[in-house]
Structure 1
């Protein structure tokens, strides 16, 4: 009986040394972050695994783009970085708009389709960054990327001729 009381006293001591109460300032900061995060998630109709995948791809694409620029010794240009982040923000805005279209039409497909479109776009961009980093890649994927790049260049040339 005494041995169990000693064990309890030791375990209570260990708990008290590892757990501390948060201060009012910490609670208000963490609570504010939680409220803002919850509000943003609610704007997007909740947080789904597909949206999580998209957010991971956005971060991975941004990081690998920076790494590829450093490897190619192009450096990090703040203007390019800014516009890259703006594009990511506009992707999120289009998903937000798609969610509210779903709400207005009592549907559930516009947002999901929008997310899948942007997921495909991010996967292509991520693959291009991997190629720029020199990671090994199957020839089939390299050929598909060159096809996408060729079509993008053709469209850019056509747009320049039209202006």
Structure 2
């Protein structure tokens, strides 16, 4: 009985969030995945490699981690603003352009984290990020 209440509550909250964000588009899912990967790789850079650029010592610091989560939360709020602008303006491109821009930023950060760990990043990834940035700029231009 308790499990069904929990599942129903989680489903209702998830449904509400999906509705507010204009649905779970592939772009939004990708952004959420990239945000998670960036956060985890940032934790690894700081916690294991002690090479974080977010703290003085380069080591894991709770304040830096909290700031990172706050930044990601505000990015999602900006996506929410873009969704509402699309609704008011009866368009569909503002949300997509904003999400693509944030995906590009997250991808750049993931690559930087990989570099700090000494992991070589294939050039095709850098090219894909350039395409994302270009697509985002084109969508915002018109």
With the shorter chain as reference, the TM-score category is 0.7 to 0.9
Between 24-33 and 130-139, the greater mean CA deviation after superposition: 130-139
**Count of equivalent residues:** 119
Please give the root-mean-square deviation of Cα atoms over the aligned residues, in Å: 1.8
1:44-84 deviations in whole A, cap 9, x for unaligned?
01101111111100000000000011233333211100000
Deviation at 1:115, TM superposition (A): 0.2
Match of 2:86 in 1: 102
Aligned with 2:111 (options 94, 107, 127): 127
Structure number, greater radius of gyration: 1
Q: Secondary structure at the match of 2:119?
A: coil
Gaps of 5+ in 1: 1-23, 143-163
Distance 2:11 2:124 in 1: 44
Match of 1:43 in 2: 20
Aligned with 2:96 (options 112, 118, 122): 112
Match of 1:31 in 2: 8
Q: Given the two structures, how large is their TM-score scaled by the length of structure 1? A: 0.69
| 1:77-92 pair list within 5 angstroms | 77-92=61-76
Distance 1:59 1:76 in 2: 17
Deviation at 1:141, TM superposition (A): 8.2
In structure 2, do the counterparts of structure 1 residues 140 and 30 end up closer, same or farther at CA, with 3 Å as the change threshold? closer
4+ long deviations beyond 6 Å:
139-142
Match of 1:136 in 2: 120
CA contact (8 A) 1:98 1:110 kept: yes
CA contact (8 A) 1:71 1:133 kept: no
Q: Given the two structures, how large is their TM-score scaled by the length of structure 2? A: 0.79
Deviation at 1:136, TM superposition (A): 1.6
